[in-house]
Chains A and B, each alone.
Chain A
């Protein structure tokens, strides 16, 4: 099993550009999550999907949208990137809602 995969690994955007971060898991997990990680701060939840067909806002959802495409895939979209969105983004999944989350390798995003 590949676990949780994320694409791309690195991305540089100009302010105002849009992009979609892709995430897929092959563990048949029900729940999926998007986090951002900034220097000196812990992981902060952006959006989550408790089960296929549902999505909800987390702690810092402004400027982002998500799509739970199917049970395997959960994408994060930045409609109009801002420098404040420069961060490392992690996707995670878990079999049961909330518990024992497995993380992908991350996407390092820079917005200039």
Chain B
């Protein structure tokens, strides 16, 4: 079955460094991927998404890379700031046609940015 996991449960970086958060998925039928940020006591916040027909997508200070060959995606955060400290989730979607499909969330990586 589908599973989405993170290689590193915690990541500590210095302010100004670039951060890379990794995620692996198991179902090659997954065709849509999302990254969420969750700050303490808050709901997940959408960061960026990517479809399986793309390898890379850039947002503001964030880039998502997708490697379908090894079923891996990563979130890169440039010039990490203390406000980036949060739990980051990846999620993958296996489409179900007219039904919901299966959106599976990973457990999360805790990113801590030190000033």
Residues of A within 8 A of B (CB): 4, 40-45, 48, 50, 56, 58, 90, 92, 97-106
Residues of B within 8 A of A (CB): 4, 32, 34, 36, 41-46, 49, 89, 91, 93, 99-101, 103-108
How many inter-chain residue pairs (CB < 8 Å) link A and B?
Answer: 52
- The 28 sampled A-B contact pairs (Cβ below 8 Å) are A41-B107, A42-B104, A42-B105, A42-B106, A43-B44, A43-B91, A43-B105, A45-B100, A45-B103, A48-B100, A50-B100, A56-B99, A56-B100, A58-B100, A90-B44, A98-B32, A98-B93, A98-B100, A98-B101, A98-B103, A99-B32, A100-B46, A103-B36, A103-B44, A105-B41, A106-B41, A106-B42, A106-B43
What is the distance, in angstroms, from B105's C-beta to the closest C-beta of chain A? 4
What is the distance, in angstroms, from A11's C-beta to the closest C-beta of chain B? 15
Q: Which residue of A lies closest to B49 (CB)?
A: A100
Decide if the interface of chain B is mainly helix, strand, loop or mixed: strand
- Known pairs A42-B108, A98-B103, A99-B93; list 13 more (Cβ under 8 Å): A42-B89, A42-B106, A43-B89, A43-B105, A48-B100, A58-B100, A90-B44, A102-B46, A103-B44, A104-B43, A105-B42, A106-B41, A106-B42
Decide if the interface of chain A is mainly helix, strand, loop or mixed: loop
Instruction: Given A42-B4, A42-B105, A43-B105, answer yes or no on A103-B45 (Cβ-Cβ < 8 Å).
Output: yes
Question: B43 touching A103 by the CB < 8 A rule?
Answer: yes
Residue among B45, B49, B99 with max Cβ neighbours from chain A (10 Å): B99
